[in-house]
Structure 1
């Protein structure tokens, strides 16, 4: 059985003390239950529906894996900047929400087999004359979500290189806030994971200026010590990616 519980009150990263050591099933055996942390505003991978229920490509993936591998999950939305600390502090057990593998993150947590490769998209206002040369040449104020891989790329490749003054990088708590600032004219461009930002601008007066090929790998994350859990997730992910369900989800969420 699978439990999927939205938790709007958990968006700031403060989670209740859920127990994850298993609950009694009808036959007297213990059912393993794991708390899965997601970004609740990460369309189309993980998000919260209007009725408060979690949805998205990654959400449906972990629900399939849980059923296949015979465990339960409780899905909790958490502000992205709090998600790794929440894992380390054992407030959640798994991160499954388009997390990019990086060396800094590898030093703190373990990753599954990668399940998707993405690049960084840069968007501007539809009527903007800004080009990729302008943006990557340091002639734009760039926004993105705090704590994401786009921030790391901008810092490593533009700010530290002296191309972009540090005060021209504007960070917000969500990509939606960054896009709002772009539409209001407070910033010139927003950089974020390409499939997510392409989804986010579909009904907005914004356009894709271009893509930076970063070839980032998405993977599931667990604590360093949870080796058995990681092995189980890798097995479940492998089964999912070899099943017809995988292509069904790719088509459903427009990730072809």
Structure 2
């Protein structure tokens, strides 16, 4: 069983949540430009370096688009009907022999991303999985997945919270979403996704045997059950990785 770890909640989490709340309440509607960095920093009472760091995170999470010399624009929300059909990411990759390698599985404090999307209190602990998905032995997708708190998960099925902390029954790791879908049974799950561009960075590049500056597609996804968020994830696919297959939702 993985052990819980303690980490201080960073001030950027609150700043991230303040900006997202302003987007949702219409202060900065989708499709509009955010104020310039000096103006926005003054309005929020923060320094420009801290603001710039959070804007980078918001872009990575698909909430805004930043362009040098132009500024930041709030993205439109995902369409109600679209390309999405809920399935584990490993089921969408291929063709080829797909396998998962678990790099981390631990109880952790909320990050800015998981805390906001899963509505987690700052002092809570929830499961975080880091999984590397290979196609024919070649790293193809980096998955970061966060679960909701144990009480929320227990409503899906009594065994689901425990399943996250135990080895896979057949000894083969899967994504967290695969466990969630299996635990939910016939219960309907929904999801919203966004897609953007980024680079691998040093740590992820090392794990995938790629240069840190390798371009990558970043897919973020929030899974819900009865409108309650139960899982938030980031899936990173580097340039040259096998295409992800998406089916039109009907």
TM-score between the two structures when normalised by the length of structure 1: 0.23
Q: Write 1 or 2 for the structure with the bigger share of helix.
A: 1
Of the two structures, which has the highest relative contact order with CA contacts closer than 8 Å and spacing of 6 or more? 1
TM-score between the two structures when normalised by the length of structure 2: 0.24
